[in-house]
Chains A and B, each alone.
Chain A
């Protein structure tokens, strides 16, 4: 009996109790009237009984209305989309949330409302439930009338009439957009950890190899080998250093250090000078175009430097890995100028391998790299972060086999006053 509602307290049984109670009163009153053999008394008792019966009916009606209101309130308060459909897939009823987020018209079909289609969906859940009377579910992506894209789990359940026949089907849509987002983040994090382990393993391999070279050089008294091995050590330590700098840059909540009178052209020249020798070694020509720049010069120069270095390093690799083209030489263009909206633009364009179609969407993801053992997979994430810190954005155009152009657009009115003040505080420290 634990947890079970006593029968007498249920509204339906209480209604019957009242009727039975009313009927009993009538019978008792008639009996009393007959006993006293007085017509007036019988009539009075009869009227009393009828009144009691009427009260019973009214109470029942009130309870029925209350139940309907409760049901309606529950139907509307449920934090998911609900609709009830007939066999023609027309919406008979829907809850408030459904009506608010989808443009529901009277007698509209569900596929018109949810999918903006003219015909029912293939593998229609509702149709299946009408056919077999069972609950079915699927995952759907729907767009609300204000343009939000939602990931939903949809269940279809049969509603039966008193004879047990399926009169309609209820669809319940549960919003799992946040869960899916979290799932994606967890996947990315897992990939990031795996990517990180892979990069560290590669660097360790390089370091082990270099130790072997140095030791062999010492054993064989070969100065050249010792020198080569030591260069390997330096290269691999630089790779660790680079990886750590990029990691810290992306993972730490770092306040940019804006400085006044920063010359963006000077940053471009510095980076070009830094890469000139390496590019020459790789047979890559540098074309530098520096336009007139009139912005106020409040930038984080170290960040800009880091950003351009990453773009240049990527462009060089794109040329190095351009195996198929058979080009005699490659060219990288570095541009810095102001556009018509006074935004500061940096562009790094290469005529290398281009970004394959299937990886275009992944280039700004953590640890994504197509460079095998050489990439940290963090470079473009750094570029994106620096651009965003300056209130700007990074975009790219790529043509597989022909090259890629990365463009960083830093609006003229950035950084915001708030950031400037924050930065001013930092610089005083």
Chain B
């Protein structure tokens, strides 16, 4: 079954890029441009992984994470943080990894594959 990945980033270019990378890697990406939309998509799609930008309008990435971690069916979904924010690794309790922009497609796909290996 194709893994579903929720991409949460307010920058359209980054979303488009990550969708292309994940599609090429054989995954099924779903996108959201803010924390509020991300929460709705997460409830609706029950993703296997969330790619999260921490610096967004509406609800910031950290607020989205706070909501996500309170929901029983979503709290164990692994999260990869994508952000240029300093101290980003501290904002999310247990991100499986943290990516700085610019993102190398191959490295990114390796990281995603590793997440699914570790969380089988």
Q: Please tell me if A420 contacts chain B, counting CB pairs below 8 Å.
A: no
Q: A212-B21, A216-B23, A216-B24 are in contact. Are A228 and B57 (CB under 8 A)?
A: no
Q: Looking at the complex, which of A45-53, A133-141, A201-209, A306-314 is the stretch in contact with chain B? A: A201-209
Q: A320-B57, A323-B58 are in contact. Are A228 and B23 (CB under 8 A)?
A: no
Q: A212-B17, A235-B13, A373-B11 are in contact. Are A323 and B60 (CB under 8 A)?
A: yes
Q: How many residues of A contact B (CB 8 A)?
A: 26
Q: Which residues of B contact A321 (CB under 8 A)?
A: 57
Judging by beta carbons under 8 Å apart, are B20 and A236 in contact? no
Quick one: which of A208, A220, A228, A373 contacts B16, CB cutoff 8 A? A228
Q: Which residues of B contact A222 (CB under 8 A)?
A: 23
Q: Which residues of B contact A320 (CB under 8 A)?
A: 57
Judging by beta carbons under 8 Å apart, are B17 and A232 in contact? yes
Q: Please tell me if B78 contacts chain A, counting CB pairs below 8 Å.
A: no
Quick one: which of A205, A225, A235 contacts B23, CB cutoff 8 A? A225
Q: Please tell me if A213 contacts chain B, counting CB pairs below 8 Å.
A: yes
Q: Which residues of A contact B101 (CB under 8 A)?
A: 205, 373
Q: Which residues of B contact A372 (CB under 8 A)?
A: 55, 84
Q: A205-B101, A212-B105, A372-B84 are in contact. Are A229 and B20 (CB under 8 A)?
A: yes
Mark out the residues of chain A between 209 and 267 whose CB falls within 8 Å of any chain B CB in the assembled complex.
209-210, 212-213, 216-217, 219-220, 222, 225, 228-229, 231-232, 235-236
Q: Please tell me if B102 contacts chain A, counting CB pairs below 8 Å.
A: yes
Judging by beta carbons under 8 Å apart, are A220 and B23 in contact? yes
Q: Which residues of A contact B57 (CB under 8 A)?
A: 320-323
With a 10 A CB-CB cut-off, give which of A231, A323, A373 has the most chain B CB atoms: A323
Q: How many residues of B contact A (CB 8 A)?
A: 21
Q: Please tell me if B77 contacts chain A, counting CB pairs below 8 Å.
A: no
Q: Please tell me if B14 contacts chain A, counting CB pairs below 8 Å.
A: yes
Q: Which residues of A contact B16 (CB under 8 A)?
A: 209-210, 213, 228-229, 231-232
Distance in Å: Cβ of A257 to nearest Cβ of chain B: 35
Interchain residue pairs with CB less than 8 A apart (23): A205-B101, A205-B102, A209-B13, A209-B17, A210-B16, A212-B17, A213-B16, A213-B17, A213-B20, A219-B24, A225-B20, A225-B23, A228-B16, A228-B19, A231-B16, A232-B16, A235-B13, A236-B13, A323-B58, A372-B55, A373-B11, A373-B101, A374-B11
Please report B residues at the A interface, Cβ cutoff 8 Å: 11-14, 16-17, 19-21, 23-24, 55-60, 84, 101-102, 105
